[in-house]
Chain A
Amino acid sequence: MKALEVKDIVKQFPGVLANDSINLSVNKGEIYAIVGENGAGKSTLMKIIYGLYTPTSGEIFVFDKKVDIKTPHDAIGLKIGMVHQEFMLIPRFTVTQNIVLGDEPSKGIVFDYKKALSEVKELSKKFGLKVDPAEKVANLPVGIQQRVEILKILRRGAEILIFDEPTAVLTPEETEDLFKTLMKLKENGKTIIFISHKLKEVIAIADRIAVLRRGKLQGIVEKGKTSEVELARMVVGRDVVLKIPKAETKVRETVVSVRDLTVKSKRGIIGLKEVSFDVCAGEIVGIAGVEGNGQAELVNALIGFTRPVKGTIAFDSKELRVITPFNIRKKGMAYIPKDRKMRGLVLPFRSRENIIMGQHTLYPFSKNGVLNNIEIDKFTTKKLEEFDVRPRDIHTRARNLSGGNQQKLILAKEMSMEHKFLLASQPTRGLDIGAMEFVYHKLIEEKERGMAILLISLELSEILGLSDRILVLYNGEIVGETTPDKTNEEELGLMMLGLKKKKRVTK
């Protein structure tokens, strides 16, 4: 029996053909993966199936019946549920409030919260998804938040579950947990559609894999009949070697040294405990760790957003007394934030305006406080070329750039600033393979130019491939230091969970 079938789906956006007559059919009880680069049309297709977009043309069949899905409400009625890439949760609400919203148990007009709590408890037991129904979502780690999302759609009686890039924000352990959940759901007879651009995962979990490229269906492969390399070729349309370039390391003088740094988190508890490390010119120090184990606090202290409770940060062996974003940047720090839209760019600004942010007070961009537009334009044109930002138009507003190009613009901005130290916080987050490779190349280039680089990443392959030294952060503390040739993903994974410690070789 077919759970879902789409026929000749076309979605035309102004200027972009996002879906070009796509045909798919998904059997009941299978895990069906859809892979493709960012912008290949995966999310568009799923949003059509979920009623968030209306297709330009085409037909959809659910359990062999032709249907017309205009709103998510229709989709829910057809037992289709979706776990979105950006969670659709309300942080201020409790787990239960989030799960029952839109279909609340009630006595008359009164919301029966007690009944809702017990319903959620039961549901979580039934599917083996452990959550605390009374906890506020804001206090939950990402993996658990995702569980809340899954419970939310299961409560609506969903038979077809769509997961949009579900592992993008998860740690390896959380991913494994999710896969176990998916298998359990499959045993329960649920149909799962799994969207991803992580090929390894897709091969591990899916029964069948459909590949999309530039809005077109490239082909469908069965479980066990493909390899990562073959799949990658289908996805990208050319041979790709997802290997990270190696560079020679010439470690020189210490640029940044952090000593006993203790920082409070936004919630007011100690998030980083007495962390010490050095970063030298010409090396990349990788910080591995599950998200929420002190990375945010470390970053905020380093860029001067949060005043440390204790400890010091020294630049060129000179201790900084007061750390503000202004004076630490003057010392020579560049910063690639993990959240491009919040900390990287001013979205309504044009490329030419964004690229000078932070160096706008310097010659030749301005003199005596007056901007020099000719110089700014010249500089922007050059940098857009150098960092391959598309479109090359210096007047494009940042909000109209794709994620990958926004990131390239940030790299162009940060790397062209006078600096010695680069803080890269999850620099490839949400990027497709092409853009990732670009970021890796640029980081290696930086290193070869003698920059000191601190790389914070959740992707172990990235940490292992790029770093000269690796520090593992767990629960706000550095639980181990190692080098890529002395460790592997498995061992790092254990350390990230605090299950294994490794003595620090150096300080």
Chain B
Amino acid sequence: MNSNIPFLNASIAQALDYTAPILFAALGGVMSENAGIVNIALEGMMRFAAFFGVWGSFVSGNPWVGLLWGVGIGILLGALHAYITVKWAGDQIISGVAINVMAMGMITYLLESVFKTTGYSPPVAYFGAPASKVHLTFLKGIPILGAFAELTILIWFALILVVVLHFVLYHTVLGLRIRAVGENPHAAETLGVNVFKIKWFAVISGSVLAAFGGLALSLGTLSSFTNSMAMGKGFIGLAAMIFGKWTPFGALGAILIFAGAQVLQLFMQGTATGFAKLIPLGFYLSLPYMLTIGALIGVVGKAVGPASDGVPYKKES
């Protein structure tokens, strides 16, 4: 059994690596939707940021510059989504689809324009390089905890953000107002809360979080941008947010179930013997998704979001 510990830890570490981008995306969704703006563009925003992060790092040779570029594009996209949905009370779903579609076309276009390659970028300086990782050597060799011995700074940031976001939403004045705006913007308005300002803030900061998700992929896990890398992770983040009932810890819990299935999948693939070996790969790969549905059927039931989530807010004239 003991011989499996390094493998188990490696699997968990791998799962955490896999989790961080989704967690960022889910937290971005939590932020935005608590203020009543649905953001299905998480996916596209991740893709944009993943690319811009690599571009920034490529130009400067410094992943931190890449990080800034990624955050910058996150702010821009958030502002675009807010302009459409908050300023012009446009349909939030359509706006999100627009950003997602744009991400598909524009990034491939830019990839070919900037790097003269198709499908992937050259490797750049990144946070996942052994020297750039956060080393907690004392944890090494301990089952499970050992997985935390060598993680990228972005993974730690994602985990810390869960606590931070929880604190902001439930223990600060700003958080109270964000939630009030998502529940009943008219009530908030009559109390002198600037609904539009709050929504702008929440959408943009949510987009920045999603952008971190993209950065965690391209500058955390890999050291380059590839065309297929964000594929579906933003949407899984969205699902995790709903599953987690629009709360930071809920989203984390949902993703942990998901990641658990992922670990199991890797673990089984690696060590399965006998009967387990007979089960085709496809089942292991789809296990996390089946489990998510199963968990929703069995445990959670009806998910209820903020009361005014997705409803465009217009001031009476």
A touches B in complex, CB < 8 A: yes
- Contact partners of B191 in chain A: CB under 8 A: 72, 76, 88, 101-103, 152
| Residues 74 to 129 of chain A near chain B (Cβ within 8 Å) | 76, 82, 84, 88-93, 97-98, 101-104, 106, 109-111
Q: Verify if A467 is at the interface (C-beta below 8 Å from B).
A: no
A91 to B183, CA, bound (A): 8
Whether A84 lies near B174 (C-beta < 8 A) is no
Shortest distance from the beta carbon of A167 to any chain B beta carbon, whole Å: 20
> Contact at B176–A101, with CB atoms within 8 Å?
yes
Q: Are A92 and B187 in contact (CB under 8 A)?
A: no
Q: How far is the CB of B91 from chain A (nearest CB, A)?
A: 14
**How many residue pairs between the two chains, A and B, have CB atoms under 8 Å in the bound complex?**
70
Report how far A97 CA is from B193 CA in the complex, Å. 13
Residues from chain B with a CB closer than 8 A to the CB of A72 are 189-192
Distance in Å: Cβ of B164 to nearest Cβ of chain A? 12
Q: Does A365 interact with chain B (Cβ within 8 Å)?
A: no
Residues from chain A with a CB closer than 8 A to the CB of B183 are 90-93
| A152 nearest CB neighbor, chain B only | B191
Interface size on A, residues (CB 8 A): 28
Within 8 Å CB of B171, what residues of A? 110-111
- For residues 53 through 81 of chain B, which have their beta carbon under 8 Å from a beta carbon of chain A? none
A101 interface neighbour in B172, B186, B193, Cβ under 8 Å: B193
| A102 pairs with B177, CB closer than 8 A | yes
Is there a chain A Cβ closer than 8 Å to B188's Cβ?
Answer: yes
Q: Among B173, B174, B187, B192, which residue has its beta carbon within 8 angstroms of that of A89? A: B187
Contact among B180, B186, B192 for A103, CB-based, below 8 A: B192
Which chain B positions have C-beta within 8 A of A53? 316-317
A73 interface residue (CB < 8 Å to B): yes
Shortest Cβ distance from A104 into B: residue: B173
B214 touches A (CB below 8 Å): no
A54 near B: Cβ within 8 Å? yes
A52 within 8 A of B: yes
B244 CB → nearest A CB, Å: 16
Residues of A within 8 A of B187 (CB): 88-90, 98, 101
Residue B97 is within 8 A (CB to CB) of chain A in the complex: no
- The verdict on A352 contacting chain B, using a C-beta distance below 8 Å, is no
Residues on A with beta carbons closer than 8 Å to the beta carbon of B184? 88-90
**CB distance A54 to B317 under 8 Å?**
yes
The answer to the question of A447 belonging to the interface, with a C-beta cut-off of 8 Å to chain B, is: no
User: A320 → chain B, closest Cβ, in Å?
Assistant: 27
Contact partner, B307, options A91, A97, A110, Cβ 8 Å: A91
Instruction: Report how far A473 CA is from B192 CA in the complex, Å.
Output: 41
Q: Does A190 contact B (CB under 8 A)?
A: no
Q: Does B175 contact A (CB under 8 A)?
A: yes
Q: How far is the CB of A89 from chain B (nearest CB, A)?
A: 6
- Among residues of B, the one whose C-beta sits closest to the C-beta of A155 is B191
> 11 interchain pairs (CB within 8 A)?
A54-B317, A73-B192, A89-B184, A92-B183, A92-B307, A93-B180, A93-B183, A102-B192, A109-B172, A109-B174, A111-B172
Query: Chain A interface (Cβ within 8 Å of chain B)?
Result: 47, 50, 52-54, 71-73, 76, 82, 84, 88-93, 97-98, 101-104, 106, 109-111, 152
The 3 closest A-B pairs by CB, nearest first: A102-B191, A88-B187, A73-B192
